[in-house]
Amino acid sequence: MSRDRGPRRLRRLDRRVLIAASVTALSLTASGCVVVHGEREVLPSSTRGEAARALRQFTTAYNKADKAYDSSLDADHVTGALGDIDAARLKAGHANNPGGNPAHTPLKLSDVTYTIPKKAGWPRWFVADAAANKGRNSRWVFVFLRDGLDEPWQVAYLTLVLPGQMPKFKKDADGWGEAVLANSTELAVRPADLSKDYATYLKSGGSSFADGANTSRWRANRKKSAQQPGRVTQYIDEPLTSGDYAPLALRTADGGALVFFTTRYYAKETAYPGTSLPTPTKDVQALTKGEVKQSLTMELRSNQVALDPARGSGKTQVGVLGRIEGLTSAVGS
């Protein structure tokens, strides 16, 4: 199930209001020097040391939660799409193995590269990509997000990208990256529109996205699975663009952007009259309300990372480099 983050978001809003109020005037130190607050200045989102520390803290918490199948152990280190996927995974694991994860292998990261953009205002965020001892030799790409000075760094996006597919990022003389605004018109598709456009593409096709495993082949696999002996499967895709699901874009060296965005989709399996659905896996059963008789409706969260080319570059299609999805809830009837 997706975790209800409403109260936390309200607290964050209250904090943002207080922070905004505090920077409407300049503060004077006892010596008479002016202190300029960073909420309106373009500054690095974090220090390099702080970014490395956030990744270590996440990895430690993630391993503890995975070993115990206890989402409370890493709840302060995840949010957004990853938070939903992780919480549901751990809930299902605990239901089937209350004593903990019998197959636990600690996640170990190495060869980490940090890209920290300079930006004004909240949220602050940065990207870390690393080699790992899991994931078929893919690079693990994390987006850490923080909504205020008194908030912890949390991973909102996690995707796996094949070696060699990560682009080079634009950096200034000091090595800081450049964030791209969600409503930027400098790209083939505005980052703010990618979630909606991707959901539309999965339903109807089109030419906005380049062919690949997460686009044309995924649509083909859905079409193939839509009609199976004794059952039919229907899909509904929806964009998710607010709060910690908001898209985040980082300028690449060629003028385009690497964009992280979230979608939600439903897959409904319905058995033909006189037949029944196959028994769901134990993990699916752990997240299912109701009895599965003739239908099973599953809700899944999906987070993507895509290359969005610069407008005028001669490239018009967005390439989806990686995607991680997870079941968050299900209903049987």
One-character DSSP codes across 176-189: -EEEE-TT-SSBSS
Distance of alpha carbon 85 from alpha carbon 257, whole angstroms: 25
C-alpha distance from residue 176 to each of 1, 44, 117, 183 (Å):
37, 7, 5, 21
How many helices (H) and strands (E) the chain has is answered by: 6, 16
Distance of alpha carbon 219 from alpha carbon 160, whole angstroms: 20
More confident residue, 27 or 286: 286
pLDDT higher than threshold 70 for residue 310: yes
Mean pLDDT of 114-127: 96
DSSP string of 80-134, one letter each residue: HHHHHHHHHHHHHHHHH-TT--TT-----EEEEEEE-EEESSS-EEEEEEEEESS
Mean pLDDT of 92-113: 98
pLDDT higher than threshold 90 for residue 270: yes
Mean pLDDT of 218-230: 94
Cβ atoms 307, 321 nearer than 8 A:
yes
pLDDT higher than threshold 70 for residue 146: yes
pLDDT higher than threshold 90 for residue 39: no
pLDDT higher than threshold 50 for residue 139: yes
Q: Tell me the domain boundaries of the chain.
A: 6-332
For 13-21, the CB contacts below 8 A with 24+ separation are 15/147, 15/148, 15/150, 15/151, 16/122, 16/147, 16/148, 19/122, 19/148, 19/149
| pLDDT in the model for residue 251 | 98
| pLDDT in the model for residue 41 | 87
What radius of gyration do the chain's Cα atoms show? 21
What percent of the chain stands above pLDDT 70? Answer: 88
Compute φ and ψ for 201, nearest 5 degrees. -60, -45
Cβ atoms 300, 328 nearer than 8 A:
yes
Mean pLDDT of 213-237: 96
Cβ atoms 232, 270 nearer than 8 A:
yes
pLDDT tens column, 154-199 = 999 999 999 899 999 999 999 999 999 999 999 999 999 999 999 9
pLDDT tens column, 274-283 = 999 999 999 9
| pLDDT in the model for residue 23 | 33
Distance of alpha carbon 189 from alpha carbon 180, whole angstroms: 12
Q: How confident is the model at residue 137 (pLDDT cuts 50, 70, 90)?
A: confident
Lowest mean pLDDT among 26-40, 140-154, 210-224, 231-245: 26-40
For 145-150, the CB contacts below 8 A with 24+ separation are 145/79, 145/80, 145/244, 145/248, 146/45, 146/46, 146/122, 147/12, 147/15, 147/16, 147/122, 147/123, 147/244, 148/12, 148/15, 148/16, 148/19, 148/122, 149/19, 150/15
| pLDDT in the model for residue 308 | 98
Torsion of CA 177, 178, 182, 184, to 10 degrees: -150
Q: Indicate the length of the chain as a whole number.
A: 333
